[in-house]
Homo-oligomer: A and B are copies of this chain.
Amino acid sequence: MDEFDLIKQYFRRQHSCDGVVVDNGDDCAIVELAASERLVFSIDTMVEGRHFLADMAPQDLGYRALATALSDLAAMGAEPRYFTLALTLPAVDHQWLAGFSQGLFELAEQHDMALLGGDTTRGPLTITIQVHGVITDDAYLSRAGAKVDDIIAVTGSIGDAAAGLQLLLREQEAADAFLLSRFLRPTARVAEGQALLPYSCCGIDISDGLLADLGHLVAASEVAAIVDVNALPTSKALGFIDDVDERQRYQLTGGDDYELCVAIAPDRWSQAKAYFAAQGWPLTAVGRIVAANSQADAISLRGSDSEILAQQTGFKHF
């Protein structure tokens, strides 16, 4: 079986994606956009042993690889359209490929995303996905644009995926299905990102931990932030962790939740909150944007009485 058979068997699927002029299978794909649309794209790599465990189920891996990439589109408020996949494999393992492609397309189909090109090569297991989406009429979220007094809000709950990863590392896999699934099959907040556009122009997804990612947001916006550690949205499952320090460490520095963190002007906050409540989506105020003094990326943590820490840390790739 050569590269072309492999692609045909596992990665050629019917799709109903709009605007595809030349589909998967030529030297390039060609797509068209409507006049009001702009193209939004991002590339992400996952390396075995670094970003995922070698024994992770291929279904989960396929799902997770696309979900984490998709989260970058969610963070811009974009509507997903297509993706490309560069897959480096140590060998052709049909069981693995069947599982991986199943998990991948399970999520792709949820968002009507078409796979419009790829490359399969032989080497150490590495998964690179580029996702493409569109925004309309130049409405998008970016890291820049947070203003002093904006409310910092977070979707969903945070800290779950980091706790789930700990369960996996400790091989307590039966421990808590919710926390595990938050790590293994994260939800990219695609609908939430688009829904935030009327209320915000500034957001980021939480992939490296709230402190690290909010750090990027305030740096790009040339502001600082105060985060109220007691306000962090906490799932019931995470709440069962008795050790407050451990729980807050997951929530502040854990990463992998792929929730969105946005800055919302005070006069838009109640509307945004009401819209999310009507949808049944959590949206929690966790802090405030403040003026940058010496450090434009400083984040101060506020506990029940006073400031306790003024240092952002997060997952560093190197």
Main secondary structure of the interface of A (DSSP, over half): strand
Say how many copies of this protein the assembly contains: 2
Which residues of the partner chain B approach A35 to less than 8 Å between Cβ atoms?
Answer: 35
Which residues of the partner chain B approach A32 to less than 8 Å between Cβ atoms?
Answer: 38-39
Which residues of the partner chain B approach A21 to less than 8 Å between Cβ atoms?
Answer: 38, 138
**Closest CB in chain B relative to A220 CB, distance in Å:** 7
Interface: A123 (CB within 8 A)? yes
Which residues of the partner chain B approach A205 to less than 8 Å between Cβ atoms?
Answer: 27
Which residues of the partner chain B approach A118 to less than 8 Å between Cβ atoms?
Answer: 43
Considering the complex, which residues of chain A in the window 102-155 have a beta carbon less than 8 Å from any beta carbon of chain B?
116-124, 126, 128, 130, 132-133, 135, 138, 140, 142-144
Interface size on A, residues (CB 8 A): 66
Find the B residue at minimum CB distance from A87.
B45
Interface: A317 (CB within 8 A)? yes
Interface: A280 (CB within 8 A)? no
Q: Mark A44-72, 1 if CB is under 8 A from B, else 0.
A: 11111111000000000000000000001
State which of B6, B26, B48 has its C-beta within 8 Å of the C-beta of A220. Answer: B26
Most buried by B among A88, A120, A123, A142: A123
- Asked if A50 contacts B122 (CB within 8 A), the reply is yes
Given A44-B86, A122-B318, A317-B121, is A31 in contact with B27 using a C-beta cutoff of 8 Å? Answer: no
**Closest CB in chain B relative to A6 CB, distance in Å:** 6
> How long is the Cα–Cα vector from A143 to B23 in the complex, in angstroms?
12
State which of B41, B44, B318 has its C-beta within 8 Å of the C-beta of A119. Answer: B44
Find the B residue at minimum CB distance from A207.
B27
Q: Which residue numbers of A lie inside 8 Å of B, CB to CB?
A: 1-3, 6, 21-22, 25-33, 35, 38-51, 72-73, 75-76, 78, 84-86, 88, 92, 116-124, 126, 128, 130, 132-133, 135, 138, 140, 142-144, 204-205, 220, 316-318
